[in-house]
């Protein structure tokens, strides 16, 4: 997960500074890896300090992000099929993609904006904020714990909205790329040429093991 996140982060940072996009650059790799580790480490910390337990903070985000990632992977598969001029097989990826996007975007919207305090992150945050504002704090909580719950749920809502925006943007970009591939009479997929294994591969492996 960290490695995949690092590759994606380097692509994003490469928009600002092309040197950060180079995966053969040790400083760029270390910077992106450190940022990714700090990010998931922060969420682990937030889960630990959550008065209701980390499962309430991390599990909903994990479920949403995990299935959205599956949808993004399937969109990539569909686009590759279009670029290879094998669009007749694209339905194999497009059907589950459509189902995943419908389910995850609907669930994401409900988790972010549902007025039901048992479902929506913002509704839960507003409920606890109202307790703080009114001074009617339940005996099992302190004011600082309620403030932590308000922050965690608002953070969850913000990240859920961010995830949905990323998925929608990627879906639009995938459609644009697929349509462009359909207009081109030739395959537009670029692949590394096939290189056969050397005949002395066992000798090379043995030498590499001996070097260590």
- Per-residue three-class SS string for 132-181: HHHCCCCCCCCHHHHHHHHHHHHHHHHHHHHHHHHHHHHHHHHHHHHHHH
108 and 125 inside one domain: yes
33 and 72 inside one domain: no
56 and 136 inside one domain: yes
For the chain, state the CA radius of gyration. Answer: 23
**pLDDT, tens digit, 9 for 90 and up, residues 22-34:** 888 889 899 999 9
User: Looking at residue 18, what DSSP letter applies?
Assistant: G
38 and 68 inside one domain: no
- In our burial notation (b when 16+ CB lie closer than 10 A, e otherwise), range 106-142 reads ebbeebbeeeebeebbbbbbbbbbebbeeeeeeeebe
Answer yes or no: is pLDDT of 1 > 70. no
The verdict on residue 211 lying in a domain is: no
Give the pTM: 0.76
**pLDDT, tens digit, 9 for 90 and up, residues 132-175:** 999 888 888 889 889 988 988 998 899 999 999 989 999 999 99
79 and 44 inside one domain: no
154 and 116 inside one domain: yes
Answer yes or no: is pLDDT of 106 > 90. yes
Alpha-carbon distances of 203 from 90, 199, 212, rounded to whole Å: 42, 9, 15
Length, in residues, of the chain:
212
Q: Taking all residues of the chain, what is their mean pLDDT, rounded to a whole number?
A: 87
185 and 83 inside one domain: yes
Determine the structural domain holding residue 144 and report its residue range: 52-190
28 and 69 inside one domain: no
Q: If 0-12 CB within 10 Å is exposed, 13-18 middle and 19+ buried, where does residue 149 land?
A: buried
Q: If 0-12 CB within 10 Å is exposed, 13-18 middle and 19+ buried, where does residue 171 land?
A: middle
- The number of folded domains in the chain is 2
Band (pLDDT 50/70/90 cuts) for residue 50 is confident
Answer yes or no: is pLDDT of 2 > 80. no
96 and 3 inside one domain: no
5 and 72 inside one domain: no
The verdict on residue 12 lying in a domain is: yes
Answer yes or no: is pLDDT of 192 > 80. no
Answer yes or no: is pLDDT of 13 > 70. yes
The verdict on residue 201 lying in a domain is: no
42 and 71 inside one domain: no
The verdict on residue 87 lying in a domain is: yes
Region 87-101: mean pLDDT is 94
């Amino acid at each position: 997960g960290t490695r995949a996140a690092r590759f994606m982060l380097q692509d994003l940072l490469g928009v600002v500074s092309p040197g950060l996009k180079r995966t053969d650059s040790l400083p760029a790799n270390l910077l992106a890896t450190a940022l990714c580790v700090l990010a998931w480490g922060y969420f682990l910390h937030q889960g630990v300090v959550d008065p209701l337990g980390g499962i309430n903070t991390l599990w909903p985000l994990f479920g949403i992000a995990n299935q959205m990632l599956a949808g993004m992977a399937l969109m990539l598969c569909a686009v590759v099929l279009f670029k290879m001029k094998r669009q007749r097989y694209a339905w194999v990826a497009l059907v589950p993609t459509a189902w995943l996007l419908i389910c995850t975007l609907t669930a994401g919207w409900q988790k972010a904006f549902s007025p039901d305090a048992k479902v929506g992150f913002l509704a839960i945050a507003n409920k606890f904020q109202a307790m703080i504002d009114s001074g009617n704090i339940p005996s099992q909580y302190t004011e600082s714990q309620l403030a932590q719950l308000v922050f965690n749920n608002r953070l969850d809502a913000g990240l859920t909205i961010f995830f949905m925006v990323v998925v929608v943007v990627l879906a639009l970009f995938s459609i644009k790329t697929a349509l462009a591939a359909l207009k081109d009479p030739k395959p537009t997929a670029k692949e590394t040429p096939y290189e056969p294994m050397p005949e002395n591969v066992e000798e090379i492996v043995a030498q590499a093991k001996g070097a260590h």
